[in-house]
Amino acid sequence: MLERKTADLTSTFSNLDANRLDQFLLTFTHEVQQLEKYYPREMITHAIHPIRHLAAASPFLERAQRWPRGYQGDFQTIEHILNAENKASPGTMAYAIEDFFLHSPICQQHRNKVTAQAALISSVIAGNGAARILSIGCGTSADLYACSEALAASACEVVLVDTDVSALEYSRGRLPELEGRLSVIEGNVYRIAKKIPAHFDLIIIGGVFDYLEDKAIVAITKELRAKLNPDGILFFTNIATGNPYRVSMEYLADWCLIERSSNDIFNLLKSSGAHERYEIEKEDTGLTYLVKVYKK
């Protein structure tokens, strides 16, 4: 069954008209979900290698298969998404693939998260011109960059944390208005959370929890919430259960996220002692939860 189904999919994709790409991806998703009932992911991935090879004509998907910086969701890939820049040649299937994914809801939710984070940063600065802000897994710091004018007019202090020193260097370079008020810490938040200084008015974790197991999230949330000032806010996001782009992300790329329901998130907060006062909502695509946890 595996060979027959994947051969049929490969034949269809090889001769596909760009205008029917969305219909093919619906079929691809359905067929792979059926195969997952009987075969492990590694076997399916191997069987659809010809489809993956064709899809990798898209620079975006090629990068998401290869992950040249050694980890999923690296800052350069996220920048590609945020800019929605089609790097393929116009008029080609590669261009159609690139265009489809960069303008799909699963990429839009990244942009929505940044918008939400920027709005929260602006709100905190408006209420406290000397706020201390911590950004975990800062990546390109697009949220802070969107608040450049407000940051320049403030006395805010910002601490950036990321595992990728190049992301930290990139962020520092685009935030010159924070000269003398910006600190960077290279490292995995799970390992260094206890070493991060305390007394923040806002802690933003972004999409880091999409990649972490429950035990790590509970430990990080407990540790970071304790570092908030009395009126402080801890903000994080998590991809929601039922992501319709999961199959495309995992099989056409190699981008695997840990989906969670609102109840899953509540249980994580309860386990970390952070469930007494929090807000949870979905961004506009409905694919990702935005969570605010309050110190008191």
Residue 138 maps to which CATH number?
3.40.50.150
Distance in angstroms (rounded) separating the CA atoms of residues 92 and 130? 51
Model confidence at 172, pLDDT cuts 50, 70, 90, reads very high
Model confidence at 47, pLDDT cuts 50, 70, 90, reads very high
Q: Structure tokens of 71?
A: 């980890």
Shared-domain flag, residues 95 and 134: no
SS3 content of the chain, % helix, strand, coil (to 5): 55, 15, 30
Shared-domain flag, residues 182 and 197: yes
Shared-domain flag, residues 144 and 52: no
Q: Inform me whether the pLDDT recorded for 296 exceeds 90.
A: no
Rounded to the nearest integer, the mean pLDDT of the chain is 96
Instruction: Look at residue 208 in the predicted model and tell me its pLDDT.
Output: 97
Shared-domain flag, residues 77 and 181: no
CA 175 to chain centre: 21
- What domain range includes position 168? 110-243+257-294
Residues written for the chain: 296
Distance in angstroms (rounded) separating the CA atoms of residues 140 and 167? 6
Distance in angstroms (rounded) separating the CA atoms of residues 289 and 296? 21
Shared-domain flag, residues 138 and 262: yes
Instruction: Look at residue 112 in the predicted model and tell me its pLDDT.
Output: 99
Distance in angstroms (rounded) separating the CA atoms of residues 159 and 293? 19
Q: How many domains does the chain have?
A: 2
Shared-domain flag, residues 37 and 142: no
Shared-domain flag, residues 141 and 283: yes
> Looking at the domain assignment, is residue 206 inside a domain?
yes
Distance in angstroms (rounded) separating the CA atoms of residues 247 and 145? 32
Residues 6+ apart with CB under 8 A from 90: none
**In 3-state terms, what secondary structure has residue 274?**
coil
End-to-end CA distance of the chain: 56
What mean pLDDT is predicted for residues 74-82? Answer: 97
